[in-house]
Structure formats: C-alpha cells, structure tokens
Amino acid sequence: MRPTRGWVLYDDDCGFCSRWVRFWAATLRRRGFEVAPLQESWVRDRIRHGHLLDDLRLLHDDGQLTEGADVYRYLMRRIWWAYPAYWLSTLPFLRDVFDATYRSFATNRYRVSRSCGLKSTQP
C-alpha cells in the first residue's frame, strides 16, 4: 500500500463538492492522496483557519497546506493525463482565467448545487 502523501479536504455540505471528490477518490488514492470533509473534527483541529470552508484544501503529510486553485494545479501535475491542463493553467493569461473561474465557482458552489439538484451526500 502506498503511503499517504496528503488529504484533499472538501466541503461536504456542498452537493457538487461531495460528489466531485467521491468521483475522483480512486484516482487520488492511486497517487497517494486520501479525501476527507473539511467538517471533520481532526481537520478543524489541524487547520486553524477562520474561513475553513471557503476553499478546497490539500493538507500535505508534512503539515503544509495548499489552497484553492493551487490544489487543482498540484494534483493535475501529478496525474500524467491531466498534466497538459496543469501546464495550460500555469501560463500567464490562462493562470488568471483558471484562478478567476475557480474563485467564481467556489463562491457560488451552493447556488450551483441547488440549481443542478445536487444535494450533499451526507446522511
């Protein structure tokens, strides 16, 4: 079994987020990343952040934290077939577009989830 390189932390109250992470969980695990909701107590204990639910986060095994659009870049860089998307997201103009798109979606994710009828997968 591969050692855990980190945890992808997501908002389990968001219907889109909880479905997205579960869809990609196997791909992430094959690369050494586990997934966990930001709402779990161990996450709140490890990450002392006033706006914990504002962004997707990646908690690295060494305690380092990556947040927001940079989580996508970090993960895409480590998945061979997603590497071209990573590369494009680092180009000067496209980086700004990628970051703005991420921020817009993150800000409106509950509205998007409701509009699409995506309820949280929590019991």
Whole-prediction pTM = 0.88
Please state, in angstroms and rounded to a whole number, the distance separating the CA atoms of residues 112 and 121: 15
Alpha helices in 12-117 (DSSP H): 15-30, 41-46, 69-77, 83-90, 92-115
Domains of the chain: 6-115 (3.40.30)
Per-residue model confidence as pLDDT tens digits over 78-112: 999 999 999 999 999 999 999 999 999 999 998 88
Going by the DSSP 8-state scheme, the letter that residue 79 receives in this structure is S
Please state, in angstroms and rounded to a whole number, the distance separating the CA atoms of residues 102 and 10: 14
Find out whether 12 and 38 touch, Cβ atoms under 8 Å. yes
Per-residue model confidence as pLDDT tens digits over 51-86: 888 899 999 999 999 999 999 999 999 999 999 999
Find out whether 17 and 72 touch, Cβ atoms under 8 Å. no
